[in-house]
Chain A
């Protein structure tokens, strides 16, 4: 349980960190909070040549509104998100922030680290997908803004290049009448999800859903957008039939594998249940 040997650098600026990633392309890993990466190092599932610790880059930890979006620095911890009044306006985001791992994980684990790590059972990727967030990455030359829906490519694989660092997550601010919720089931407190659903809906004064984001976590190779559910929600009003449609979509479009969290049928059923629970709470929060 001792990691394989690696070199270690703790740059004092983003530029210095990017230079290291450039010079050591392919053998460097970025260390933020460490609560995903260090366990991987200890199991020797990751054996980087050099760790680039961005722990000194304090200017990457912030939460602020700008241009109709919430801009969140990559090194913002789950706990800072949990405590933020700006984040608390989104039921979806505050649900997720308070339920990640355990208090120690939330004290050190970061939004950027979790998103870049892209564990298919983690919480933030589905939240970013449902809220149509975008992800800012940069290398020595340029900055790129990648839509969350084009970011999570496969298990632990994202659109980030080896020479890039994730610097910021941008979340569109929502109009009045928007509600969101995150629901997950886990075997025990602090465990990774067995199945989880992120839902965000906007409802007009007649109770009709005008916009919807639905994503599932832990039940496929990567967190994914439940397109069939989004299509069914927009233009509809809350009903038992609508819930049944969403449940069926979540069960049918999941692709879970059997593991210690349970068999495939159980996971599909849980995906459906989490999607319906999240939808109910999102609608209630939207005032529908």
Chain B
């Protein structure tokens, strides 16, 4: 019998706990212990980025992190992106721009883009392509993915400047 370690994390603002073996990968805890299956396991070799989530706001491949490493940290998964019943601007943009075909890579693409746009709110197309260099789309739909991230960047910039406009009005 392998001993387990108690892990407590915040996922999308909600407290979650699990007793896990040290060797349990974070993505497996998220999917199997917490039932949040929006985070995908793609390549199983730290290459494809389908399992990308945010850990304390920093994008991470959750197949390359142990569940015990996440203890005490704030996680954000694709399920946490929707704002009430409104899609996050990235989700809306991937819909509008047809930024997905099979959709398997999409949660990782969106989570990586969320981190990237926080770092670089007004990127060029070239910067977007470098920003998602760790995420593979095997339908090769990169053109529309880049368009979607560009649309979301514009929407997020508009949202960020909106409260200022209200205050000064």
Residues on A facing B (Cβ under 8 Å): 1-8, 10, 31, 34-35, 38-39, 41-42, 51, 53, 55, 101-105, 107-108, 189-190
Given contacts A2-B23, A8-B5, contact A105 B134 (CB under 8 A): yes
A4 to B47, CA, bound (A): 21
21 contacts between A and B (CB under 8 A): A2-B23, A4-B23, A7-B3, A10-B69, A34-B64, A34-B65, A34-B66, A38-B66, A39-B45, A41-B23, A42-B25, A101-B134, A102-B134, A103-B112, A103-B131, A103-B134, A104-B59, A104-B60, A104-B112, A107-B59, A108-B65
Once bound together, how far apart are the Cα atoms of A101 and B112, in whole Å? 15
The reply on B147 being an interface residue by CB < 8 A is no
In the complex, how many residue pairs between chain A and chain B have their CB atoms under 8 Å apart? Answer: 85
Taking a contact as CB atoms under 8 Å apart, the answer to whether A39 and B64 are in contact is yes
Q: How far is the CB of B142 from chain A (nearest CB, A)?
A: 11
Which of A1, A34, A41, A107 is in CB contact (< 8 Å) with B69? A34
- In the complex, which residues of chain A have a beta carbon less than 8 angstroms from the beta carbon of B3? 7
Residues of A within 8 A of B64 (CB): 34-35, 38-39, 104, 108
Given the complex of chains A and B, what is the CA–CA distance between A104 and B64 in angstroms?
10
Chain A proximity of B74: nearest CB distance (Å): 15
Of B44, B46, B49, B130, the residue contacting A35 (CB under 8 A) is B46
Verify A102–B23 contact, CB threshold 8 A.
no
User: In whole angstroms, what is the CA distance A4 to B25 when docked?
Assistant: 12
Question: What is the chain A residue whose CB lies nearest that of B64?
Answer: A38
Contact with A along B111-127 (1 / 0, CB 8 A): 01001100000000000
Are B21 and A103 in contact (CB-based, < 8 A)?
A: no
A5 adjacent to B66 (CB under 8 Å):
no
Is B143 located at the chain interface by the 8 A CB criterion?
no
Check if B52 is an interface residue, CB within 8 A of chain A: yes
- Is A190 a contact of B44 with CB atoms below 8 Å? no
A8 contacts which of B22, B65, B131 (Cβ < 8 Å)? B22
- Is B59 a contact partner of A55 (Cβ separation < 8 A)? no
Most chain B beta-carbon contacts within 10 A, residue among A39, A41, A104: A104
Most buried by A among B22, B58, B65: B22
B23 touches A107 (CB 8 A): no
Give the residues in chain A near B160, CB-CB below 8 Å. none
Q: How far is the CA of A18 from the CA of B47 in the complex (A)?
A: 32
Give the chain B neighbours of A102 by CB distance below 8 A. 49, 133-135
A101 to B59, CA, bound (A): 14
Task: For the A-B complex with A35-B64, A105-B134, A108-B64 known, give 15 more contacts whose Cβ atoms are closer than 8 Å.
Answer: A3-B23, A31-B69, A34-B64, A34-B69, A38-B25, A38-B66, A39-B64, A42-B44, A42-B45, A51-B22, A103-B115, A103-B130, A104-B61, A104-B112, A190-B134
A1: B residues at CB distance < 8 A: 44-45
A51 contacts which chain B residues (CB < 8 A)? 22, 66
Asked if B2 CB lies within 8 Å of chain A CBs, one says: yes
Q: Is B68 an interface residue (CB 8 A)?
A: yes
Q: What is the CA–CA distance of A103 and B132 in the complex, to the nearest angstrom? A: 7
Judge whether B22 and A103 touch: CB under 8 Å.
no
A55 vs chain B, min Cβ distance (A): 6
Given A5-B23, A35-B46, A190-B133, does the pair A10, B58 have CB atoms closer than 8 Å?
Answer: no
A7 to B21, CA, bound (A): 9
Residues of B within 8 A of A190 (CB): 47, 133-134
Interchain CB contact under 8 A, A107 and B60: yes
